[in-house]
Structure 1
Amino acid sequence: MADYNVTKTLDVMGEVCPVPDVETKRALKKMKAGEILEVLIDYPMSKERIPETVKKMGHEVLEVKDAGTSEWKIYIKVN
């Protein structure tokens, strides 16, 4: 498990689709290349959907990490 130099944290805990996906895309568009976005989620479908969306946008998913029971952290590097 790596420690990332997180630029921005997006907390979408308690939100269901499409909110986590839309908010992640919105946050990434405002960030610069090389910055790292940490997304906090607790909606299982977002664990699959956000990484797929991010890759299609051309960014890099560094890690999807378990953060508790039905909670995850997704680390994304902006390209």
Structure 2
Amino acid sequence: MAPNVTLDVTGLVCPGPVIEARKIFNTMSQGQIMKLVSTCPSTRDEVGTWCAATGNVLLDTQETGPGVWAFFIRKG
């Protein structure tokens, strides 16, 4: 799955990663995919909650390194 946009927010504390993702999502078209990279442990829960509330779809979550997570989100 190739993302249309990659947003690296490593080092940013929660809720910063979801806030930054939301800004970019507002410029994306429906069906496009974002890869969100974060080191904040709470991002995992926050992304799921945000997707459920907005109709976006969390396609996959991958641990890409120690404490580094990549979230693949499709704009709904």
Whether TM exceeds 0.5 here: the answer is: yes
Please tell me whether residue 76 in structure 1 is matched to residue 73 in structure 2: yes
Is 1:47 aligned to residue 50 of structure 2? no
1:24 and 1:50 in contact (8 A); partners too = no
For residue 18 of structure 2, the aligned residue among 21, 43, 63 is 21
2:9 alignment partner in structure 1: 12
User: Per-residue CA shift, 1:36-70, capped at 9, x if unaligned?
Assistant: 00000001011111121122111110011111111
Where does structure 1 differ by over 3 angstroms across 4 or more consecutive aligned residues?
none
In structure 2, stretches of 5+ residues that fail to align are none
Q: How many residues align?
A: 76
TM-score by length of 1: 0.90
TM-score, structure 2 as length reference: 0.93
The amino acid across from 1:11 in the alignment is D
User: Identity, % of aligned pairs?
Assistant: 25
Q: Tell me how far 1:35 sits from its aligned partner.
A: 0.5
For 1:29 and 1:75, the matched residues in 2 are separated by 16
